[in-house]
A and B are shown apart, each in its own frame.
Chain A
Amino acid sequence: RKEVEQDPGPFNVPEGATVAFNCTYSNSASQSFFWYRQDCRKEPKLLMSVYSSGNEDGRFTAQLNRASQYISLLIRDSKLSDSATYLCVVSYMNRDDKIIFGKGTRLHILP
């Protein structure tokens, strides 16, 4: 099982719709979780950290389910500018591969 796994997509979603994607992780010792977005040929940029209690930032909601070892990202009222690749990032302590990126989920918002 891959350490951090995401559905690569692409998700093609009409503007204004709600879209959700999950990310599963294999190591139960994982400690910190993040969603980054990456535009084509650009650097990853932090979208939001993911906390056990779940957190919301405007149209974006992130959830963590430690029992099932997944995190999720929900985007409401999607906009054209949300088109990007969304990267799930998991970090551990005391491991060589300390920070693990998922391969990303591509999202296309359609006008």
Chain B
Amino acid sequence: EPEVTQTPSHQVTQMGQEVILRCVPISNHLYFYWYRQILGQKVEFLVSFYNNEISEKSEIFDDQFSVERPDGSNFTLKIRSTKLEDSAMYFCASGLRTQETQYFGPGTRLLVL
């Protein structure tokens, strides 16, 4: 069964450093998403991406965040200058159609020191 994969599984970084989180969505999916979940809190929508551009973003997704689909398979989330409060689990998800089922990757646990 096809699945969404994410790398790395864990990332530790110093405050102010840039991080890139990588995702490989399911191959025939057209909609891509990033979410985060701070420990003990709810899953929060960050951004959705379709047709090589951002289709929706939340207020969390500020200028420090960016997404790219550089090569037609990878989907990346970049945080330019990490803050302590960026520490969270980051989930990538993909879906075939909007408003329908999303399939989540296993997540990257980011710790900012």
**Which residues of A come within 8 Å of B, CB atoms?**
31-32, 34, 38, 41-46, 49, 87, 91, 93, 95-104
Given A97-B58, A99-B33, A101-B45, is A31 in contact with B105 using a C-beta cutoff of 8 Å?
Answer: no
Contact B106 A44 (CB under 8 A): no
Asked if B45 and A43 make an inter-chain contact with CB atoms under 8 angstroms apart, the answer reads no
Q: Among the listed A43, A46, A93, A96, which residue makes an inter-chain contact with B107, where contact means beta carbons less than 8 Å apart?
A: A43
The answer to whether A101 and B42 have CB atoms under 8 Å apart is yes
- Given known pairs A32-B99, A49-B101, A91-B99, the reply for A100 and B45 (CB within 8 Å) is yes
A101 & B48 in contact (Cβ 8 Å cutoff): no
B32 within 8 Å of A (CB atoms): no
- B79-112 to A contact mask, C-beta < 8 Å, 1/0: 0000000000101000000011111111100000
Q: Is the CB of B91 within 8 A of A102?
A: no
Q: Is B18 an interface residue (CB 8 A)?
A: no
Interface string of B29-41 (1 = CB under 8 A from A): 0000101000001
Using Cβ atoms and an 8 Å threshold, which residues of chain B touch A44?
A: 43, 91, 104
With A43-B91, A98-B48 given, name 7 new contacts (CB 8 A). Answer: A32-B100, A34-B101, A43-B104, A87-B42, A98-B45, A99-B48, A100-B45
